[in-house]
Amino acid sequence: MTTPFDDDHLREECGIFGIYRHAEAARHVALGLHALQHRGQEAAGIVAFDGARFQAHRAMGHVAEAFETDRVMAELSGYAAIGHVRYATFGATILRNVQPLFADLSFGGFAIAHNGNLTNAMTLRRRLVQAGCIFQSTSDTETILHLVATSGKATPIDRLVDALGQIEGAYSLVALSDSMMLGVRDPLGVRPLVLGKLGDGSMVFASETCALDIIGADFVRDVAPGEVVIISDEGMRSLKPFVTPKPRFCIFEHIYFARPDSVVEGRSVYDVRKAIGAELARESGVDADVVIPVPDSGVPASIGYAAEAGIPFELGIIRNHYVGRTFIEPTQQIRNLGVKLKHNANRPQIEGRRVILVDDSIVRGTTSLKIVQMVRDAGAREVHMRIASPPTTHSCFYGVDTPERSQLLAATHDVESMRKFIQADSLAFISMDGLYRAMGEHGRNAEAPQFCDACFTGEYPIALTDHWGGDEDQSRRSRMKIAG
C-alpha cells in the first residue's frame, strides 16, 4: 500500500521473519512483521505449519489490517511460521504475488519468503516455462520455487542449494518445510538477515534486529553472506555451499532503509546516521541559525550535523503519520497538496531564520522542491539543503524500487543545476569517502569497494542478465561501471 503522494522516494524493499518451535509461532511472526512494516507497506502474509498441515493467510495492506482478527490468527496454528511484508520491486501489486509463496512438492509442503531481487529471474522463467512449468504469479520468488520443484537432487536442502546456484541477484530468504526452517543470504550479503533466539528453544530469522526486540528475542548473529542456516528438531547447522567474494552489503540500509533502532552488520543504524550528519557538516558547513530535518529519515543525520556545526537543532517540519490511503481522489490539484498532507512547517522555528534542511536523498527532486518552498513560505530567510548520501545517479536492480535512470535528477543534472531545480540557496551532498568514513572505514576502496553503492557509482557487483536481455556475455559487463 502506498499513497499517491509518495512517488519521489526510494521504496523500501521487503521484510522477512520466521520462527521455529514456538507454541504461538504465527502470532510472533505477526509481531515481527509489525516491526518490519517500514520495509514493505503494500501487503503481508504468513504461512504456518502445525506438524500436519500448512495454513496461509495473505492480504493487501498493512500488517494490522491483514492480521487484525482472532479468527485469522486462530487459523494459523502451529509451531513454525514464516512471514513477509512487501513493497513490489518485481511483479505487480496483486494478491497472487503476496508472499510467502507455498507449493506442495514431491517431498512435501514448501513455503518461501524473499527480500531482494533476482537479476536473471526472467531469463530463468523463460527456460522453466519452455520446460512445462506453470507460473501462478509474476513474482521473481516463484522462480526459486520452480527451481526447487524441478531439481533432481534428493533432499529439500540439496534442492534449495541447487536452485540458489542457478540464480543471480541480491536476496535474503526464509523457507519452511515440514521438517525444517531455513535462512539464506546471497553470496555478497547485499540484503540483511539476522538470527535470534527466544527462550530456551525457539530460533528466529528476521530482516532486522528491531524485529527481534519486539518479541523479546536475543540477537545471536548475522547470517553470513552465502550461508544456509538450517533449523530443525535436531538443532541448528550451517552450510556454506557457495564461493563468497568480499561482502558488498547495501550501504543504503544504513542511510535510509533500516530502522534507526536496528543494529545492522554490527553497526548501530542510529549512530551511523548521526556520523553521516557530522561528516556532512565538516564537508559542507554553512552559516545558519537552525538545523531542521526532513522527517523522519533525516532526523539522526540532522542531530549529528547540528552537534558538529554547533547550530541548534529544531523540529521545523512536522510529519503527519496518518496520511495512509487518501480519502480524496488524487487529481493533479490534490497531488500538488500532497507534501502538505504529509508535512507541515513549524513556523515559529523557521520564520526569520537561515535554515539548513537535512534529508536522506534526492530522487526525482519534486519533493525537495516543495519542501524548500514550504520552508520559504514559513518565513525562512535562507534555505540550505544538505543530503546525507551522495547523488543517486543510477537505478537499483537489487531489491529497491527506484525510478528509471532518466527520472533520477542526479543522473541528468550536476549539483548546481539540482540546486536551481529545487530552488535552494545552496545544496551539498556527502562525499563518497565521507559516507565511508561515517561507516567506520578510512574511505572507499575503489579497487574493492566495501559496500554495494551502485546507486551512487553505477558499479554493479552482481550480473544484470535480464537487464542485458538475457545475454550472459553482456551480463558480465554489469560487474563494471554501467555508463550512459
Integer angstrom CA distances of residue 345 from 205, 340, 352, 428: 40, 9, 13, 22
Helix axes 141-150, 156-164, angle to 10 degrees: 130
Contact 254/436 with Cβ under 8 angstroms? no
DSSP labels, 336-374 = HTHHHHHEEE-GGGTTTSEEEEEES--SSSHHHHHHHHH
Closest Cα to residue 204, out of 179, 226, 229? 229
Radius of gyration, alpha carbons of the chain: 23
d(CA 474, CA 471): 5
What stretches of 163-207 adopt beta strand conformation (E)?
169-177, 180-185, 194-198, 202-206
Residue with cell 500436519: 52
Contact 231/182 with Cβ under 8 angstroms? yes
Integer angstrom CA distances of residue 76 from 47, 56, 175, 291, 360: 7, 7, 16, 48, 39
d(CA 218, CA 268): 16
d(CA 222, CA 206): 10
Q: Residue 257 is placed in which grid cell?
A: 532503509
14 included as an active-site residue: yes
d(CA 62, CA 45): 10
Q: Which of 14, 210, 396, 452 does the annotation list as catalytic?
A: 14
DSSP labels, 69-98 = SHHHHHHS-SSEEEEEEE--SSS-SSGGGP
Closest Cα to residue 242, out of 323, 182, 186, 287? 186
Q: Which residues are catalytic?
A: 14
